[in-house]
Amino acid sequence: MTMGTAIEAVLALALDVAREFAAARDSVGSVPAAQGVASLTDALRAVARAEARVHAALIAIGGSTRRSITVTIPGISGAARRVEVEDAARSEIALAAHWTEGYAQHRLDVARVLHGFAPEARRALADGEISCAHANAIADGVHALMRGLAMDAADPASPGREATRAHLEALCRQLDHRATAIARRGTVPHTRRAVTRIVDSLHAEGAAARRKAARADRDVWVRAEGDGNALLVARMSVGHAIACAAMVDGLAAALRRERDDDGSRTPPRGELRAEALATLLLGGRRDGAGPIGAHVDVVVGLDALLGLQDGDATALVRGAGSEEVVTVTEVRALLGQAGDVTLRRPVTDSLSGHLLDVSRHRYAPSERLRDFIVARDGHCRWPGCTRRAASGDLDHAQPFDDGGQTTVANLGALCRRHHLLKTHGGFDIVESRADGGCVVTTPAGARYEHAPVSVLPGVGPPTRLSPG
């Protein structure tokens, strides 16, 4: 199976699943109640079988282990350096399936683990006996065993580790058999708990290594939910998490007492906890060095900037890798609440939402053209990528040494991975325009349009993923 036909297979499978769900939807009300359970289980088995076929297509595209391409990049002083770009196939998969690259890598890794280390779970999925979520839980157990044995999950067939691989395969056979039997009759949470117990029983001595490896997964990120809410998610040690939650609870209780004493409205407990966390982070001090600082971009329309809009105008606040629509009143509240906030003010056309200018009053002055490109694109302009433009590279769509000019039309923001793929991995960017729009072409010959980004909330078309 060639890469092109494999991609077509993935898309066809997705279409088949969509048709099955549509058929189930259209049949609602026409199926007697007595047949409902049978119809449900039949549909779920069909979805599981389709997921197994997707796994097979992913293996056909990306291979059974991670693949890297090594490129040589000339250095400034003339000394070349070698850079590895891992799993370029995941970019092809993500574009074809309209997935994020992280999700594409996750799906590819699960397919590889089931293919190489959990054949019983793979067959159960293909037979519709377990769901994809059950299979994911078993794959996570395999990865835990790999971490305990200090095996590279990306390439467990590393040279010189034959004995360790044989030991890993023996452990995985036991995990696969025991966990799949539980998955056939249990829920997903039940299966996950069982997998954890099985892994600990099979390789208790690897617990310390697994915990050490898990430290690399700790992070903090933001996920906007709309309606003015967002999730601030933190993955940290259990001790730190409990201590932080206790501190939030203590301050929330104090806030509740204050509201009770002054007779004002007492918000629900959850709202008080959220307020307490924001107070601790934004109003706290760090080693006596003063208030914690913050840097945000507030994107406003020209009419709002000039005071020509009626009512409370909206703005787009960008910071910490996330962005959210807020009112100007909320912006003022944020500025008044945080200890040390600096502001950059991009100005937009109120009709198109496209960027007009960038204020020179900013946190870290830099070259004006870079300011413009970063503010115009907002994030990497690879279709589907959400990495911030400010943390990436400026790319010449038409290479500079091939006659490309350093202009607004020829420059665009790309994260480092996609910059390397575009320069060395067989991908290309064509039809680059001054408004930030462009077309990405892939090694398989597909074309995906990145529409110009409206930096003004609610104006202009969204970024599109549309194979041509």
| pLDDT attached to residue 299 | 64
Average pLDDT on 7-13 reads 65
Q: State whether 381 and 421 are in the same domain.
A: yes
Q: Is residue 336 part of a domain?
A: no
| pLDDT attached to residue 206 | 78
Q: Which residues contact 355 (CB under 8 A, 6 or more apart)?
A: 346, 347, 348, 349, 372, 375, 376, 455
State yes or no: pLDDT of 288 exceeds 60: no
Q: State whether 234 and 127 are in the same domain.
A: no
Q: State whether 194 and 255 are in the same domain.
A: no
List, for residues 334-374, the tens digit of each pLDDT value: 555 544 455 555 555 555 555 555 543 333 335 678 888 88
Global confidence as pTM = 0.65
Q: Which of 305-314, 398-407, 411-420 has the highest mean pLDDT?
A: 411-420
Q: State whether 206 and 124 are in the same domain.
A: yes
State yes or no: pLDDT of 38 exceeds 60: yes
Q: State whether 134 and 153 are in the same domain.
A: yes
Q: Is residue 359 part of a domain?
A: no
Q: State whether 104 and 226 are in the same domain.
A: no
Last residue of a domain, one of 229, 257, 283: 283
Measured CA distances, 435 to 185, 252, 277, 379 (Å): 55, 46, 39, 14
CA distance 339 to 330: 16
Last residue of a domain, one of 216, 243, 272: 216
Q: State whether 125 and 240 are in the same domain.
A: no
pLDDT tier for residue 320 given thresholds of 50, 70 and 90: low
Tokens of 36: 């409902």
Look up tokens 């693949």; give the residue.
67
Last residue of a domain, one of 184, 216, 248: 216
Average pLDDT on 211-219 reads 83
CA distance 213 to 210: 5
Q: State whether 66 and 176 are in the same domain.
A: yes
Q: Is residue 248 part of a domain?
A: yes
Residue span of the structural domain in which 264 resides: 218-283
Q: Is residue 328 part of a domain?
A: no
Q: Is residue 251 part of a domain?
A: yes
Query: How many CA atoms, within 13 angstroms, populate the side-chain half-sphere of residue 431?
Result: 11
Q: Is residue 338 part of a domain?
A: no
Q: State whether 176 and 164 are in the same domain.
A: yes
Q: Considering only 197-211, 261-275, 302-316, 351-365, which range has the smallest mean pLDDT?
A: 351-365
Q: How many folded domains does the chain comprise?
A: 3
pLDDT tier for residue 81 given thresholds of 50, 70 and 90: confident
Share of the chain above pLDDT 90, in %: 29
| Buried-exposed string 445-455: b where 16+ CB fall within 10 A, e elsewhere | eeebbbbbbbb
List, for residues 420-447, the tens digit of each pLDDT value: 899 888 899 999 998 899 999 998 888 9
Mean of the per-residue pLDDT values for the chain?
A: 77
Q: Which residues contact 12 (CB under 8 A, 6 or more apart)?
A: none
Q: State whether 237 and 181 are in the same domain.
A: no
| pLDDT attached to residue 359 | 45
Q: State whether 128 and 160 are in the same domain.
A: yes
Q: Is residue 186 part of a domain?
A: yes
State yes or no: pLDDT of 459 exceeds 80: no
Look up tokens 């990528």; give the residue.
385
Q: Is residue 10 part of a domain?
A: yes
Q: State whether 51 and 199 are in the same domain.
A: yes
